Homo-oligomer: A and B are copies of this chain.
C-alpha cells in the first residue's frame, strides 16, 4: 500500500550540478503517476528503477521547456518497447500540438495517446481512478501553470479478524461488513458494524506546487497535506528576482507549508545560481522545521496511518 514520491529532476531551467530539470513519479499502491517531464526523465526512470509500464497518466504543470522536453523522448521510447496500453496526458493547452508535430516525423505510436486540456486558472477535479482523485491547483507563474493535488481514495473499513472467528462470519458476508453493514447472527442478535470493524487508514495526500511565485490562495487548497513539494528556485537573497520571474524562495515555500499546516515539505526547482543546496535547507527550516531537500533520486514515502 505504497504512497511514495520519487524525484527524477530537481533543477530549474537547465540541468546543472548533476540536477536534471523537473520530473517526478508518484507511486500510489503500485500504480505510477508521472508529474512533469523535463529532459532526461526517461534516463532517470531507468537509473532509479521505475517501471514505466506502470504509468498510465502524466500530469504536466505548464509548457516551459524544463517541464516538458523529456516527454517526446519518453513517448517514443514507450513505442520502441511496444507499449500497448493507452496513455493519458493532462496539460494546459498547446502541448498536444508540440507533441503531434514531432510524432508526425517519428511515425505512429503502437498505443493510444490522449490529451486532456486542463484549465490552470481553476481548482477542479481533473482525474480519478479507484486509488486517487487528482485536482488542479492554480499557480502564479509567468504563463498559465497548474500544480496538482493527489488525494488517495477512502479505503473500505477493516474487519476485525477476532470477530470473524468469534461470530463465525461467513466469507460472503465480509464485503458487506467492510462497506459498513451490521451483521445479524443466527440467533437474531444484531452486531453493529462499529463492533466488527476498525477505521480504515487515513487517505494520504500529496501536493505538487511548481512553478509559482509566493501565492497565498494555495493555502486553503493544500491545507494539512501529508507531503508538499513546493518550488524554491531561489533563496531570500534573490527574493526580488523570484517575484519578477514568478518563482518562490525557500523561505516563501516554508511559509506556505507553515500556513497550510502540512506535515512535511520537500524543496526543489533550484536555480543554477546555487551550486550548493545547503542554504535552501537552512532558510526553509528556520520557518518550517520539517523540511527536506529534494534531490534527484530521492524518495519520500507517506506511511499508512490510523485515524488519531
Contacts and interface: CB of A to CB of B under 8 A. Distances in A.
A15 interface: yes
Interface string A6-27: 0000000111101011000000
Contacts of A66: 73
Interface string A202-218: 00000000000000000
A107 to B, nearest CB: 9
A70 interface: yes
Contacts of A102: 65, 98
Given A64-B106, A106-B64, A80 B14 contact: yes
Interface in A82-133: 94, 97-98, 101-102, 105-106
A246 to B, nearest CB: 13
A297 B40 CA distance: 17
Nearest to A95: B105
Given A39-B39, A40-B40, A70-B39, A63 B14 contact: no
A80 B39 CA distance: 15
A106 B43 CA distance: 23
Contacts of A80: 13-14
Interface in A21-59: 21, 39-40, 42-43, 46-47
